[in-house]
Amino acid sequence: MAEQKYYQKEIETMPREEMRALQSEKLVKQVKHVYENVKYYRDLMDAKGVTPDDIKSIDDIHKLPFLTKADLRDAYPYGLLGTDLKNCVRIQSTSGTTGRRVVAFYTQADVDMWEDCCARAITAVGGTNEDVCQVAYGYGLFTGGPGLNGGSHKVGCLTLPMSSGNTERQIQFMRDLHATILCCTPSYAAYIGETLKEMGLTPDDIDLKAGIFGAEPWTEEMRRDIEKSLGIKAYDIYGLTETSGPGVAFECEAQAGMHINEDHFYAEIIDPETGEVLPEGSKGELVFTSLDKEGFPLLRYRTRDICVLSRKECSCGRTLIKMSKPMGRSDDMLIIRGVNVFPSQIETVLIKEGYSPNYLIEVDRVKNNDTLDVYVELAPEQFSDTVKDLAIKEKSLAEAIKTMLGINPKVHLVAPKTITRSEGKAVRVIDKRKLHD
Ligand code: DLL
């Protein structure tokens, strides 16, 4: 097969007016679907005095109420379900405690749509049925592995469902089976690059040509490092469990912003403080409306990701609107080794384990690997313990935090009154990573 530039050309290069018409048609249907099937959202619409009849085109979208992570928490687990459970074939989820965990439901049509989005991303980096696509995102509840796996099948690549970890084996498969496309988090890509070098190999020893990296913030500098260490072109991909997973937006050959699959997800930028919709080109919080989801349709979902949208013409020929890399978040969520972490989760563990809520979380990136250090202040009566006892306590607390978050922290128990008290908002997190350019 000749090199294919688009996966669904008609949609990806659709003239703007046609796209708006398509979005309008889909929105009208999606709002009816939600109003009829999701009591939680119907109540929000009723409270705002909006009915499906008020939504005649995409221009009316601003009349709809927002949904937030707090709504997802209130409605957990079934409250936002858009169809009978018997019509759903899959769930995916984020890590975290019950309240923070997002559980999304998919019908077969939802899975198909999601995989199409990932197929567009793979095709945009030059993927065809002649490629071997190594998927080293985690498989399981996390959307990374299953999403790219499905997209890779749709494109017809030979798919290597490696999941993450076991890096030397990753490199061995990469070499033996001539992988040409690598999908994983940017930090894992960087780590694979380092390991390759440590094994005495160079980019000439592998056949990779492209990488599709996302799920966490990464800089242009990191892109250049990865490109050099693996001898590839590195492309960004964005998504979130709430909307489906990876593939909501993807980078093309221009490597300058990510095209949003706006026939499925309508994007708005709002002022995170006031909720006011901002004009194109403004920096603000990204809000998504699913346009054709069945299982877990979300209208005007506030992602908390801060970014800029642009409709500037793209050299790749796609007309899909672009988003910049996320430039931060309007909440306190951290992404550490690809895992979404809220400081309050750590606080919950400390309190449960009998420690004080005086703590400090320090995140850094050492050799492209995220580190998590948690400093916890001891009460005076706890401090009399011997050094050996402290080491045991640190280990057990680290275990408890790992059980909660799924990632290993380094715990430091420190003397009473050593963590600076705050006179205003407590500073609980020091993030030393330079994640944004
Ligand atoms: O991270 C889905 C995904 C998997 C995307 C694989 C790309 C590749 P969640 O675990 O729900 O889903 O986390 C979603 O991660 O709101 C962003 O804050 C952040 N994020 C995702 N992609 C990027 C990216 C997956 N390319 C949250 N750059 C989102 C920066 C990203 N942040």
pLDDT at 296 over 60: yes
Q: How far is CA 113 from the centre of its chain?
A: 17
CATH for 336-431 is: 3.30.300.30
Q: How far is CA 63 from the centre of its chain?
A: 27
Probe target for ligand 1 pocket from 72, 285, 335, 437, with the most ligand atoms within 8 Å of CB: 335
**Predicted pLDDT at 217:** 87
Q: Is the dihedral of CA 309, 92, 39, 329 positive or negative?
A: negative
134 burial level (CB within 10 Å; 0-12, 13-18, 19+): buried
Ligand 1 centre from 216 Cα, in Å? 5
Length of the chain, in residues: 437
pLDDT digits (tens, 9 = 90+) for 311-366: 999 999 999 999 999 998 888 889 998 888 988 889 889 988 999 878 999 999 98
Tokens of residue 409, six digits: 């922290």
Residue 354: beta bridge partners? Answer: none
Ligand 1 centre from 381 Cα, in Å? 43
Contact at 8 Å (CB) between 338 and 187? yes
Among 206, 236, 188, 221, residue whose Cα is nearest residue 338: 188
Question: Which amino acid is present at 48?
Answer: K
Contact at 8 Å (CB) between 179 and 208? yes
Task: Say which CATH topology domain 9-331 has.
Answer: Rossmann fold (3.40.50)
Could you tell me what percent of the chain has a pLDDT over 90? 80
Q: What is the pTM of this model?
A: 0.90
Residue with the smallest CA separation from ligand 1 atom 29 is 240
Is 247's C-beta closer than 6 angstroms to any atom of ligand 1?
A: no
Cα–Cα distance measured from residue 31 to residue 36, given in angstroms and rounded to the nearest whole number: 8
Ligand 1 centre from 176 Cα, in Å? 30
Residue with the smallest CA separation from ligand 1 atom 14 is 240
Residue with the smallest CA separation from ligand 1 atom 18 is 305
Neighbours of 29 (CB within 10 A): 14
Question: Maximum distance among all alpha carbons in the chain?
Answer: 72
Ligand 1 centre from 238 Cα, in Å? 5
Using only the alpha carbons of the chain, give its radius of gyration.
23
Is 251's C-beta closer than 6 angstroms to any atom of ligand 1?
A: no
**Predicted pLDDT at 1:** 45
312 burial level (CB within 10 Å; 0-12, 13-18, 19+): exposed
pLDDT digits (tens, 9 = 90+) for 62-120: 999 999 999 999 999 999 999 999 999 999 998 665 556 899 999 999 999 999 999 99
Cα–Cα distance measured from residue 312 to residue 316, given in angstroms and rounded to the nearest whole number: 12
425 band by pLDDT with thresholds 50, 70 and 90: low
Residue 122: beta bridge partners? Answer: none
Angle formed by the axes of helices 39-48 and 16-37, nearest 10° = 110
**Predicted pLDDT at 369:** 86
Cα–Cα distance measured from residue 136 to residue 168, given in angstroms and rounded to the nearest whole number: 12
Separation in Å, CA 123 to CA 208, 253, 331, 389: 15, 10, 33, 56
Tokens of residue 399, six digits: 């275990």
Residue with the smallest CA separation from ligand 1 atom 4 is 144
Q: How far is CA 58 from the centre of its chain?
A: 26
Probe target for ligand 1 pocket from 181, 218, 340, 407, with the most ligand atoms within 8 Å of CB: 340
Separation in Å, CA 402 to CA 20, 161, 184, 219, 370: 46, 26, 22, 27, 15
Cα–Cα distance measured from residue 12 to residue 421, given in angstroms and rounded to the nearest whole number: 53
pLDDT at 33 over 70: yes
Tokens of residue 141, six digits: 């509840």
426 band by pLDDT with thresholds 50, 70 and 90: low
Contact at 8 Å (CB) between 298 and 273? no
Looking from the CA of residue 137, the nearest atom of ligand 1 is 6
Looking from the CA of residue 338, the nearest atom of ligand 1 is 1
Q: Where are the domains of the chain?
A: 9-331, 336-431
Is 340's C-beta closer than 6 angstroms to any atom of ligand 1?
A: yes
Residues sharing a CB contact under 8 Å with residue 20, sequence separation 6 or more, in sequence order: 57, 58
pLDDT at 383 over 90: no
Cα–Cα distance measured from residue 342 to residue 97, given in angstroms and rounded to the nearest whole number: 10
31 burial level (CB within 10 Å; 0-12, 13-18, 19+): buried
Mean pLDDT for 355-379 is 91
Ligand 1 centre from 253 Cα, in Å? 20
